[in-house]
Structures are given as structure tokens and as C-alpha cells.
A = this chain, B = another copy of it.
Amino acid sequence: MAKLSSIDPYIQPCKVVFQPSGRSGVVAPGASLLEAAHQLGESIVSVCGGQGSCGKCLVRVEEGVFAKHGIRSTAAHLSPPDADEERLLIQQGAPTAARLACRAQVLGDVLITVLPESQAQPQVVYKTLEQQMRQIDPAIQLVRLSLGKPQACNSSQQERVLSAIREASEKAGAFDYAALQALPEVLREGGGALTATIWNRSRVIRVQQGHQTRALGLAVDIGSTTLAAYLCDLENGELLATAAATNPQVAYGDDIMSRISYAAEQPQGCERLHKVLIAAINGLAKQGTAEIGAVPADIVDAVFVGNSVMHHLLLNLNPDSLGHLPFLPVLRDPVDVRAVDLGLSLNPGAQAHVLPLVAGFVGADAVGVLLAEAPHVQDEVTLLIDVGTNGEIILGNRSRLLCTSAATGPALEGAQITHGMRAAAGAIERVRIDSTTLEPRFRVIGQAVWSDALAPADIHARGLCGSGIIEAVAEMFAAGIITASGRFDPTLHHPRLIRINGKQAFILAGSAQSATGKPIVITQSDLRAVQLAKAALYTGVRYLMQEYGVESVSHIVLAGAFGSLIDKKRAMMIGMIPDCDLGRVVSVGNAAGAGACAALLNREQRQEAIRLASWTEHVSISLKADFQERFADALAFPHACDLFPHIREGSCDAD
């Protein structure tokens, strides 16, 4: 690994092409092939979650010059296998030139064949989404027209364009007002050549001079803490750019209940929360389009998901009634509204589609997760957990789907944590603690390698993002730094265990490794916040399992919008999710956002969303008589290897 530390951080990104799928793209040098696969949407089996312990993620490195892909690949464009990897490759009877995708780090352009056995992973859900994404049928169409000179006054400019659209075998019945206003100039200046942007085969929402090809769409997942935006090409479905930001509403309250209070009780509270959110979304649109040399006015369609409160605040609907029994939303139906009516600075004719709510706090984000993961088309019972400040939990299969929401709090998104931060450069996203020495190593976003492969001054750690927090707590528990109750082990003495203002804390990154010159620590209250969050999720999960009548689940899908994928093993170690074969636990990143993309790129998904929202059964858990008791029970960290046989098998305290 030492060799990698010498990689020039300004080195060019490396091109990676996967066969037989043909998926390709560029990744930062130092990324593993498994990480590259995640980033580029390639599915590779990984039972151990990329820990190098299962030997399932076999790929073959193709060597030579590959004109088709424009790359020259050699084995030297990957980090060499270490002793562990070589041992596993032999154990697996791997062919020549095979590598473990989780171990091979990309150093240059490579062409990789995913071996058949490594493609066999039953990631049905993920594939379903990908198939949907390939079936591009967006609400938006570009129709390129060439009109002749008008002959008679017994017509109109609008009639001439609509008639040309019909002749092009497309459908549109009328112009939106904004498009109509642009029409005279487009016809005067364009000499008859124009491009009509049609929404939902019904209305012309934009006209442009000449024959244009750009129609951008924006999908946005509005989390209580994190906003994630996806910019797509609406003609070919390509994801062009992504952008994320902290929800500026956090200044008015950390969780959805405090947002409801602010909206309901402060004068113009609702409008203020609405406006800061819209401003932030406008910022994301600007940022995303700037990345590809476009402008927000190129965006003609947008799809939004978010929990019920975020949904209401996006629409400037007072969420007051969500704050008290029976937690009634203002509306559950999907909303089609002009983007400009929400204050969005996109194309003047741009449409905004907001996915429907299920009920109560189970909002459009849960519907997005359902679209992306499609548990309703499967026989096996899947547990979907969308980890966020408001957690959504879905359990079921093709015969029945249950859902509920959990007041997770913002801890798992890095908020309300002493050194918590958003998943941005400098955030610690991976943590390992040696159970003997209690010495941690970690990986920081923006760095290609782990902290122990870098000089302290080169690390520039700034804080912990959500995935880093989960890993830190899991590793502290596995290493015995904290007890099952979530308290620091009082018998332990170690230079990293310090007191800040009389409260105990664990130094994860020393001041020399930190960009601020101050150590990055995990405090007792940070541990408590993680406990509350995971207990809320786990309690919700158990209620749904009880209601469904199952004692275990076949599949678990972990979703969340906070940057890195959640480490499934460590999520299980802290007791956030119930026991399950680790190979059947999938971490999918922002599934709600993926669902928003699916609805952006395929109109049928918007119809599917309506069916799913009404079919899914809502379970209201906060009113259950034994809720407090169960929640209190779930606060403790599980005695490792007791509750979770699958962790024992995969080895509890080492990777």
C-alpha cells in the first residue's frame, strides 16, 4: 500500500470499462474496482461487502490496446495483489489474470471482464431499476419542425405548429402560456425551423429557434438534512451530473417535528422554510448544469421526492396538520405544477412533478425507494430501510407491502454530532479500529487511500460523515471501547480516551491528521445520538416484521442519501438492522433519488408511483402501547454474535 501514497493527487482520472455490460466511466485513481463498479452502476457480487474476505467479486483483467474503448489496459494499471488476495484467489480456483474487485485499486485505464459467477448476485431490485432506467419514456419530448411560409390568415401561429407536430406523428393539443409568448419571436427569427418541447404528449411547454437537442431533467431528493440532485439528459436517459447540499432548513430545526413547529407557529414560518429550500434547489440546478456547460433554463422537467414534511414545505403547504393526530397531510396525490410557481429558476415552461405520499410521515421519498427497489415485484420478503433524519421502513413482497417511518434524527447524516459533517471532501467515511491496540485508521473523502498510508499532514480530515459515524461506533463497540449500553468502558485507559469538559471522548483523528489542527473525536453524546437513531429504525423494523408475521427477512436493502454506501456489516453490528445473511444485504445509496430519476425518465413510473402509494399499507408505530418499552430495549448495542449469527460467521472483530 505504501506505494500508493506516492500517487500524485492531481493525476488524471482513470477510465474503467466493464464487460460484458459495456458500462464505462472514469474514477479517481486509488478506487477499488468494486468501488468503481458501484460508481458506474455495474453489479458485482460482494458477499462480505468489499472486505476482501469472501473472495466472490472475481473479475478478469484484459490486457492490450482496445481501440473500441480508446484505452490501453495492462495489469500494471491496477495495484498488485497482496498475500491475502493471492490466497483467496487460489482458494476460489480463480483463472489466470483474475483479481478480487474489492482489492484491486485502479491506477490507470483498465478493461475488466466481470466473471460469470460474479455477475450471478441476485440484486434483483437494483437490476429492476436499471432496466427501468433503460426504458426511457420521459414526460418530455423534443420535436424538431420546419415550417413553410404562412399562406392564409384563417389560421394562427399556434395552429401551424400544432399541425406540424401532428404531421411528425407526435401529439400536442395546445401551448402553455409561456411557450405561446415565445412563439412569435421564434417564428420571426428562426425562419420556420423550430424545436417544440412537449410535456406528457399534451402541451407545448417550450419553443426554440432551430433544431435543438438539449432537454435536461432534474431529479431531487429533499432530505430533512441533505439535498441530492441528479441532472439527466431526457433524450437518452444519461445521468450527466449530481450535486448535493445541506438542507438550509436545518437552521430552523433539526428534524421534521421542529420544522413543523416553525412552520405552524412562526409568522411566515412556512413560507420562509419554503423559500430557503427553493433557493437551495436553485443552487443545485445551477451547480449541476454549470458542470456540463449548461444553464438552469435548459431544465424542462423536474421530479421531487421527500418525506411528507419536506414535500409540504417544497410546495409551500403548511405542514401543521402533520404535527398532531391523525397526522393528516394536506394532500397525498402527486402534484404537477409549473416549476416557476414553486419559485424554481428553471426553464420558464419547466414542469415540476412531486411523487405522491403514502400516509402520515411516509412520504414521496418512500415512494421513490419503492420505485427504485421494486419489492412489490418479488417473491421474497424484502426489508427496505431508507436511513435519514426521517427514516422510512418498508417490508414486504408482491403480496403485501407495509411501511412506517422512524424519527431517526439527523445523527446518521452527520448532524448533531460533535464533529459531524456532510459527505464532502475531508469527511471521514470509513473507520477501522485495531481491537488490540485500539488504534484507528480511516479513510477521508477526497483521499484515495487510508490514513495509515498517508503522512498525517497529508490527511486533512475535517469531520465525520454519516457512513463514517456508523463505522466509528461499530468499530468502537467491536473493539470494546464502548459497552453494550453505549457507554465508554470505565475500566479502559488509553491515550485516545480523553475528557472534554468533563465528558469522555475517543480521539479518532489526532490534531496532526486534522485539517483544523484540533483532534476529531467521538463523544458520549454522539454515541447517544447514534443509539437513538438506530433504535428508532430497529423498533420500526420489528413492528413491521411482527405485523407482517415474519421472524426474519430474506433481503435487506439499505438506502440513504448521505454520500458513501452504508457499511452493511457495521449497520448490523450496531443493531440498526435485524440479522440477515450479509450476502443478502445490499447497500444501494440514495434509492429515493434513484426513484425520482426513474420517474423523471419514464412516465409510466409516475403511474406506478400512484399505484404503489395507494397499495402500500401504512403502520402507525408511534401510537403503539409498547412503543416506548421496545424503543428503550433497542437502544443497547447487541452483544456481538448473539443476536446476529451472520456477523459471527463473517467474523465479528476483524475484516
Q: Across the interface, do B177 and A330 meet the contact criterion of CB distance under 8 Å? A: no
Contact check: which of B156, B175, B330 meets A332 at CB < 8 Å?
Answer: B156
- For the complex of A and B, list the 8 residue pairs with the smallest distance between their C-beta atoms, beginning with the closest: A158-B331, A184-B318, A153-B360, A156-B332, A153-B326, A153-B327, A156-B331, A157-B330
**Bound complex: CA A606 to CA B155 (Å):** 20
In chain A between 443 and 471, which residues have their CB closer than 8 angstroms to a CB of chain B?
none
Knowing A153-B326, A359-B153 touch, does A159 contact B331 (C-beta < 8 A)?
A: yes
* CB of A295 within 8 Å of the partner chain: no
**Bound complex: CA A145 to CA B333 (Å):** 21
In chain A between 292 and 327, which residues have their CB closer than 8 angstroms to a CB of chain B?
315-321, 326-327
Number of copies: 2
In the bound complex, residues from chain B placing their C-beta under 8 Å from that of A174 are 333
Q: Residue on B with the closest CB to A328?
A: B150
**Bound complex: CA A317 to CA B187 (Å):** 13
Q: Across the interface, do A180 and B315 meet the contact criterion of CB distance under 8 Å? A: yes
In the bound complex, residues from chain B placing their C-beta under 8 Å from that of A500 are none
Q: Which size bracket describes the interface of A in this complex?
A: 35 or more
* 8 A-B pairs (CB sep. < 8 Å): A155-B332, A156-B328, A159-B332, A181-B316, A183-B330, A184-B318, A184-B320, A184-B321
**Bound complex: CA A160 to CA B331 (Å):** 9
In chain A between 157 and 202, which residues have their CB closer than 8 angstroms to a CB of chain B?
157-160, 174-175, 177, 180-181, 183-185, 187-188
In the bound complex, residues from chain B placing their C-beta under 8 Å from that of A188 are 320-321
In the bound complex, residues from chain B placing their C-beta under 8 Å from that of A618 are 153-154
**Bound complex: CA A547 to CA B315 (Å):** 57
Q: Across the interface, do A620 and B184 meet the contact criterion of CB distance under 8 Å? A: no
Q: Residue on B with the closest CB to A357?
A: B156
Q: Residue on B with the closest CB to A263?
A: B184
Q: Residue on B with the closest CB to A150?
A: B328
* CB of A654 within 8 Å of the partner chain: no
In chain A between 313 and 359, which residues have their CB closer than 8 angstroms to a CB of chain B?
315-321, 326-333, 335, 337, 341, 357, 359
* CB of A251 within 8 Å of the partner chain: no
Q: Across the interface, do A157 and B331 meet the contact criterion of CB distance under 8 Å? A: yes
**Bound complex: CA A393 to CA B332 (Å):** 53
* CB of A436 within 8 Å of the partner chain: no
* CB of A91 within 8 Å of the partner chain: no
Contact check: which of B153, B180, B321 meets A328 at CB < 8 Å?
Answer: B153
* CB of A152 within 8 Å of the partner chain: yes
In the bound complex, residues from chain B placing their C-beta under 8 Å from that of A187 are 321
Q: Across the interface, do A330 and B154 meet the contact criterion of CB distance under 8 Å? A: no
**Bound complex: CA A335 to CA B154 (Å):** 18
Q: Residue on B with the closest CB to A320?
A: B184
In the bound complex, residues from chain B placing their C-beta under 8 Å from that of A341 are 177
* CB of A96 within 8 Å of the partner chain: no
Contact check: which of B152, B185, B321 meets A318 at CB < 8 Å?
Answer: B185
**Bound complex: CA A183 to CA B321 (Å):** 11
Contact check: which of B184, B317, B329, B360 meets A317 at CB < 8 Å?
Answer: B184
